[in-house]
Amino acid sequence: MICCPFHTDRNPSMKVDSRFHCFGCGADGDVIDFTAKLFQLSLRKAAEKLVADFGLSGNPVFPLQYPKIVEYKSQNPIQTLYECSAILGDWRKRFAPKSAEEELHPCFVASLHYTDYIQYLIENRHFLTEHRKEVQQIAQRIRKYEIDHFQHPQNALAG
């Protein structure tokens, strides 16, 4: 817990782990969202700042391995959510537009649409019994995006 930099905060109200969330002002997101908000940048500029500040490389040294979702019925919902989260994170990086003029890839848009909600469900796993059917539907939608739009059919999802 830390004091939130986005509002006047005397007592720590912001939780920080793999994501951040302020219980005072409601600010929430990942490291790119945090950087964008803190430095008043677009998401793209925030990502570029992080790459420059930390000397990260946009070209992976190791061969890319694409995550897959296995058949939903064979596992518990939390495992499905973690696999969905991994795929969406991969899509957010792999299908990110290279320029402002480039048309957004449907898998990139899907990653923006579903990531926060999936993270919410993971963090609040005690609600999963109530949302079991919804988790299954999200996994099925992600499978459909993968099958309809994925450029590497040899890595298509099971299901």
Q: Are 150 and 107 in contact (CB under 8 A)?
A: yes
> What confidence score (pLDDT) does residue 75 get?
59
Long-range contacts of 94-103 (CB under 8 A, 24+ apart): 94/64, 94/66, 96/44, 96/47, 100/44
Using alpha carbons, list the distances in angstroms from residue 129 to 11, 13, 42, 83, 121. Answer: 34, 29, 37, 18, 11
Residue with tokens 């930390």: 54
> What confidence score (pLDDT) does residue 150 get?
58
pLDDT tens string for the chain (159 positions)?
Answer: 889 888 888 888 999 888 889 998 988 988 888 988 888 988 888 888 887 777 766 555 544 455 555 444 445 777 788 888 888 888 888 888 888 888 888 888 888 888 888 888 878 776 666 777 778 888 888 888 777 765 444 444 433
Q: Residue 111 burial (CB < 10 Å; 0-12/13-18/19+)?
A: buried
**CA distance linking residue 52 with residue 138, whole number of Å:** 34
**CA distance linking residue 52 with residue 55, whole number of Å:** 5
